[in-house]
Every structure is written in C-alpha cells, then in structure tokens.
Amino acid sequence: MAIKLSDHFTLRRLLKFVFPSIVMMVFTSIYGVVDGLFVSNYAGKDAFTAVNLIYPFIMVLGAVGFMIGTGGTAIVAKTLGEGEGRLANRYFSFLVYVTIVFGAATAIAGIVLLRPMAQLLGAEGVMVDYCVTYGRIILCALPFFMLQNIFQSFFVSAEKPQLGLFVTVMAGLTNIVLDYVLVGVIPLGLVGAAVATAISQTVGGLVPFLYFAFPNSSVLRLTKTKIYPAVLLKTCSNGMSELLGNISMSLVSMLYNFKLIEVAGNDGVAAYGVIMYLQFIFVSIFIGYAIGSAPIISYNYGAGNERELKGVFRKSLILMVGTGVAMALASFLLSNPLSKVFVGYDEKLFTMTVRGFKLFSVAFLACGVNIFASSFFTALNNGLVSAILSVLRTVVFQVIFVLALPLLWGLDGIWFSSPMTEIVSVVVSVVFFMALKNKYKYA
C-alpha cells in the first residue's frame, strides 16, 4: 500500500517513506564518484586535479535547481496539505518552466566565463584547457541537471519517491556504463567522462519531465499555468538556504583548493578531491533523509497537525545522531581501502589522502543534525532561519577555520576545518530548535 503524506508516521513508516530518497541520493553520489574514479585512473592526476578545480564553479551555476526544488516543494506540499490540489499543480508547473528558462540562460553564461574562471581558480597551462573542455561539455546539460535536482524533491511531494529512485538509478547506470565505454574502453579520457555525465544528467531531467507532462497517477502534473511572482519570491526565500549552501560550499571548496596549493601543491587538491567524493557518499544519506522527510513536515504544518509534526521531529533527531556516530566510525575504518581505489597508484598522494579522510571523518558526528536543521526550517517555510544556519555552517565557520587552523597545524589544520565547523554549527542548530519550538509546536 502506498504511503501518503496524510498518514501517521511511525518510525518504520517514516523510514520506509524516506528510504527511496536516501538510496536515490546515495546512488547519485556514487555515479558522480565514478567520474572521478575513471578520470583519476585513466586520464591521470592532472586531469583529475583540473576536474576538481572547475567543478565548484559548475555547481555554483547549478545551485538554483536545489533552491527551487527545496523551496518549491515546501510551498507545493503545504498547498496540498491545505486541500488546494489544482493550485498546487499550477505552482509546480510554473516552477518547472522557470527552471528550464533560467537553466538555459545560465548555461550560456557559464560557457562564456569558463576560461577566465579556470585561470582565476589557479589553473595554469594544460590545466586550463582541461578545465574548459570538461566544463563546456557538462554545461550543455545544465538545464537538465537543474530539472533533475528539482524533480528529486517534487517526486516526494507527488507521493512517488520510488519513481524518483528509479529515474536516479537509470541516470546513474547510464553514467557508469558510458564512463566504462568512453573512458575505459574507448580512451577518450576527460572528454569521455564529461560526455557520460552530460548524457546521464539529460536522462535524469528529461524522463521525469515527460512523466509529469502526461497523465499519471501522482498528485502532481504539469499543466497550463501563469506567472506567480509571489510564489517565485517565496520559493527563493524558502530555498535560499539550499542556494546559499550549495554556492558557499563551492566557494569554500575553491578556498580549500587555494590553501591546499599553497600548503601541499597539486597533490593537496587531488587528495581533497578524493575526500570530497567519498564524504558526499556518506553525507548523501543525510541529504536523502532531508529530501524525503521535508514534504511530510510541510504537509503536516499546512494541515495544522501538531502531534504528527512532533513525532517526525523527535524521530528525525534520533536517526540523525545515531547515523552520524555510525558514519564517523565507518569512514575512519574504511579510509585506507577507499582512498586506495582512487589514488593507490601514487604512494605519497595515497598517504596524504588517508590521513586527511581520517581527520575529516569526525565531521560526520554532527553534520546530520545540521543538514536536517536547515531542511526542517525550510519545510516550515521559514527561509530566514534556514538561510542563517546554512550560511553560518557553509561559509562563516568554514572560512574562519580553513584560514586559522592551518596556521596552527599546517595541512592537518585544513583537514580538521570541516569537523570544527560541524561541531560549532550543531550548537547553533540546537539553539534555534529550542528558541522556535513554541512557535511551530514541534517539541
């Protein structure tokens, strides 16, 4: 029997509902990692370093998709909770069409700016050409990448999380197979990896668009709509934390790369790239849970169901803390074999990566609560608090620690910047949970 947003969510039912979103995000992270794996082992260390230099810029351009997905889902799910199904479909359709137009315009601008951005980020010589080649191919699929991001959230609001998982798996398998063919079999190197990713993103964005464009059994469908400036403004306000979070993470990654080049050279950038690939697999569990649980929170907030809201909040915190402890332990124990898969061919780089990942693993103890906190307030349509939490965590604290800690501990200080950020951020998250519990009646 399908689970509906109006159901009572026991722990088992909650886990069953969010499970497709978690698997979806884990699979998304894994097929993203496959790109790095093939580039590192087949195209070489320089190409791998170039990808890690330019990728944060590409993610900045695609961040609007995350904003519209999370911010729009909060509005659409709340509208469904209020019993306004037709209006929810119009809002949904309007936000999808806005994403397409904005994605196309952003892709064109990004292609024009790629070369100067690559140079600004520290690329030199052949590294600049690598960045431009990879980036231009990826940006051709940017509108579909944005659509893929928003549909990941809207599939949950449409009470079709399993279908969202299916589409993600389809896109992921496309990427993995094409990486093997275009990089492993046909030695196209960086170009092959970029083409594989662009095609997989096209699949991930186009398939759900076609699904929602035709009659279906979900509660959402693309229909005729009109321009809703207030909805767009509220969407941007709700999803601002996700936009700022993704942009700031990309900008902070650039800062990390600058510091790593300064302290450890290109090997430092390559090691950081491996750690980022691996940490995204672990963190994707938290992100998937946040995506899967947000519509439940928005729906019950819109329906005024305080009892259900309290139950989901309490269960979520228990799950985030318990999973964080398990992840920290697992990442510490697996740092050696996982790093070897990427850079086992270079002993010095391998040793640097293992040590960095072990220090970084402490961050998993707290980051789940922080990710949920930002998503929780977005789901409650409080974009301001969500944005504050996101900016403090992904910009302010990160910048302070990545600049200060290397002065004390050198390269180890860079690796430990993220754990320190998460530890301080979780204190801020708890403060906001306590301060707003009476307003929203979730505790």
Res 303: pLDDT: 87
pLDDT in tens, 410-422: 999 999 999 999 9
pLDDT of residue 234: 86
Domain locations along the chain: 11-440
Dihedral (Cα; 197, 292, 249, 271), 10-degree rounding: -60
C-beta of residue 421 within 8 angstroms of C-beta of residue 397? yes
Angstrom distance (rounded) from CA 104 to CA 413: 40
Contacts of 91 (CB under 8 A, 6+ apart): 72, 75, 76, 79, 225, 228, 231
CA atoms within 13 A on the CB side of 310: 8
Give the separation between CA 89 and CA 87, rounded to whole angstroms: 5
pLDDT at 124 over 90: no
Distance, in Å, from the CA atom of 289 to the CA atom of 16, rounded to the nearest integer, reads 11
Residue 66 sits at φ, ψ, to 5 deg, of -65, -40
Q: What local confidence, expressed as pLDDT, does residue 41 receive?
A: 80
CB 67 within 8 A of CB 235: yes
Q: How far apart are CA 435 and CA 148, in angstroms?
A: 35
Q: Angle at which helices 347-360 and 306-343 pack, to 10 degrees?
A: 160
Query: Does 241 score more than 70 pLDDT?
Result: no
pLDDT digit string, tens, across residues 131-153:
899 999 999 999 999 998 888 88
- Model pLDDT for residues 307-359, shown as the tens digit of each residue: 999 999 999 999 999 999 999 999 999 999 989 888 887 888 899 999 999 99
Sign of the four-CA dihedral 341, 346, 347, 350: negative
More confident residue, 208 or 152: 208
Interatomic CA distance for residues 271 and 273, integer angstroms: 5
pLDDT band at 2 (very low <50, low <70, confident <90, very high): low
Nearest CA-CA partner of 20 in 148, 159, 145: 159
- Averaged confidence pLDDT in the chain: 87
Residue 196 CB contacts under 8 Å (≥ 6 apart), including other chains: 35, 174, 175, 178, 179, 182, 183
Kindly state the DSSP code that residue 43 receives in the 8-state scheme: I
pLDDT tens for residues 357-412?
A: 999 999 999 999 999 999 999 889 888 898 899 889 988 998 899 999 999 999 99
Residue 18: which of 292, 350, 248 has the closest Cα? 292
What share of the chain in percent tops pLDDT 70? 98
Query: What residue type is assigned to position 325 of the chain?
Result: V
Q: What's the predicted TM-score (pTM) here?
A: 0.75
Q: What is the pLDDT of residue 331?
A: 92
Question: Where do the H-state alpha helices sit in 265-363?
Answer: 266-303, 306-343, 347-360
For residue 42, how many C-alpha atoms fall within 13 Å in the half-sphere facing its CB? 21
